Amino acid sequence: MSAMIEVDDLTKFYGRTLALDRASFTVEEGRIVGFLGPNGAGKSTTLRILTGFMPPTSGQARVAGHDVLTEGLAVRRSIGYMPENVPLYPEMRVQEYLAFRAGLKEVPSGKRAAAVDRVVERCWLTDVRRRLVGQLSKGFRQRVGLAEALIADPPVLILDEPTIGLDPAQIQTVRELVRSLGEKHTVLLSSHILPEVEKTCSHLVIIAQGRIAAAGSVADLTEGLAASQRIVVEVHPGEGGEGPAEVARALGQVSGVDRVSHESAGGGWLRLAVQPAGDADPREGLYAMVTQRGWRLREMRREAPSLEELYVRITAGEAAAAGRPAA
């Protein structure tokens, strides 16, 4: 069973500017995948290529088994798409607009009214269904966009920044809605806000500067990060005791320690960051060393870089992906 969305070596040039650089990832059926990246990373470009709105310069993409370039119509029948900034026709009423889109998406005319009712309820639009789209607040507009994407009950949903510009309460309602979709639909949603994506999605694809930097389940990515944890120790060597470099060297000699860096924590205290070698856990050894030397110890803690730090590192250009990630 092939993946619902397959992106293979996708490249896109806007004139001379490289927007996508051989991006590859897949989205398996039934998953909610977050497409994460800073502004300008290539998220919207990728989504527009997937929906057939623009062609790639090279590479391939398939949605629900159909090639986006050669089977465009079939792809469009399988997707519900919500572009960034949710463009709508201001002169239409909400339910008019939804019925119109249902017709375009080949919902049989007898079933359109029921489909409109269904999405209106699902997206909490009941109170505004007869209002003109042009009179809606941003929160409602976003929900109309979501309702429109759902109207034909497509197997794949592609949402470009669905919570942008919303206040926290609205973000929460959209988040709940998206989470409830996971069972029957495959969702690919893009965002540049990590906490949002973390709370809604089970899998992530991180893109920066047109390249896929990381992909995998949130659990896997976090676990992978746990391996590169470090131990932070706050030590006071006492009046006239060893200097910081000495303390660092001493701790460095504990078995299982790779590197030690130090900084002053004020009042004679030193904060040292200990990098363990491989899987080693040198905490006991460190404690023993500290007490043996007669230093005072006031804190020892383990720090695993968070997903947020990984994201920041990636967007600062450091991390790189290996092979062809699957989400």
Partner 1 sequence: MQKVLLLTRREIASYFVSPIAYVAMALFLLATGVFFGWMDFRPGQPAAMQGSFNIMMIVLVFFLPLLTMRALAEEQRSGTIETLLTAPVTDVQVVTAKFLGSWMFFLVMLAPTLLYVVVLAAFGQPDVGPIASGYIGLVLLGAAYVAIGILASSLTRNQIIAAVISFVALLLLAWPVPYVAQVVPPPWRTIIQRATMLSHYIDFTQGVVDVVHVIYFVVLTVYALFLTVKVLESRRWR
Contact residues for partner 1, defined by CB under 8 A: 48, 51-55, 72-73, 76-77, 79, 81, 83, 85, 87-89, 91-92, 100-101, 103-106, 148
Nearer to partner 1, 85 or 222 (CB): 85
Nearer to partner 1, 103 or 241 (CB): 103
Instruction: Write out the two tokens for 37.
Output: 């990246």
Nearer to partner 1, 81 or 311 (CB): 81
Instruction: Write out the two tokens for 149.
Output: 């994407």
Nearer to partner 1, 79 or 181 (CB): 79
Instruction: Write out the two tokens for 216.
Output: 């995998």
Q: Is 179 helix (H, G, I), strand (E, B) or coil?
A: helix
Note the maximum CA span of the chain: 88
DSSP letter for each residue of 114-153? HHHHHHHHHTT-GGGTTSBGGG--HHHHHHHHHHHHHTT-
CB of 99 to partner 1, least distance (A): 9
d(CA 109, CA 103): 7
Instruction: Write out the two tokens for 221.
Output: 């990515």
CA 177 to chain centre: 17
CB of 150 to partner 1, least distance (A): 14
CB of 225 to partner 1, least distance (A): 36
d(CA 63, CA 2): 10
Nearer to partner 1, 19 or 206 (CB): 19
CB of 216 to partner 1, least distance (A): 28
Nearer to partner 1, 102 or 248 (CB): 102
If one counts every other C-beta atom within 10 angstroms of the C-beta of residue 134, the result is 12
Q: For residues 95 and 120, is the Cβ–Cβ distance under 8 A? A: yes
CB of 78 to partner 1, least distance (A): 9
State the pairing for strand pair 17-27/5-14: antiparallel
CB of 49 to partner 1, least distance (A): 11
Classify burial at 183, counting beta carbons within 10 Å of its beta carbon; exposed 0-12, middle 13-18, buried 19 or more.
Answer: exposed
Nearer to partner 1, 73 or 322 (CB): 73
d(CA 123, CA 141): 11
CB of 145 to partner 1, least distance (A): 9
CB of 100 to partner 1, least distance (A): 6
Nearer to partner 1, 92 or 326 (CB): 92
d(CA 172, CA 270): 42
If one counts every other C-beta atom within 10 angstroms of the C-beta of residue 250, the result is 19
